[in-house]
Amino acid sequence: MKVLGPHSREREHIMFQYKLIGCEVKTIKEVHFPLITFDIFDRNILQLYFFSFSSESEGLLIRIEDEDTVKLFREMFNEIWKKARPIGS
């Protein structure tokens, strides 16, 4: 599993926890992430999570099973992954 997120001292301990359970973890400074996260499952299911500044625990979840949309998000993730640095470097 790959985990990618913005570089933040405050959240660094969370990124290291992902690494401890065997995930590949990278951070990136050049990209400012919106309050949207996404997961890709089984190469054909995309889950988008929309949050607000006032409530990270509640938000909108959208599940997309369109192959072209999932492919687009996978390609976007992989391009950002190439620019990212492993956690701790």
Show Cβ contacts of residue 84 under 8 Å, excluding neighbours closer than 6 positions: 4, 26, 27, 28
* pLDDT for 89: 63
Q: What is the pLDDT of residue 75?
A: 94
Summarize pLDDT for 53-86 with one digit per residue, the tens.
666 667 888 999 999 999 999 999 999 899 999 9
How far is the C-alpha of 73 from the C-alpha of 65, rounded, in Å?
Answer: 12
- What's the CATH number where 47 sits? 3.30.870.10
Full domain range(s) for residue 53: 2-86
Tell me the two tokens of residue 70. Answer: 């999932």
Quick one: pLDDT at residue 57?
64
pLDDT in tens, 8-55: 788 888 889 999 999 999 988 766 656 788 899 888 899 998 887 666
Domains in the chain: how many in total?
1
Radius of gyration of the chain from its Cα atoms, rounded to whole angstroms? 14
Amino acid at 6: P
What pTM was computed for the model?
0.76
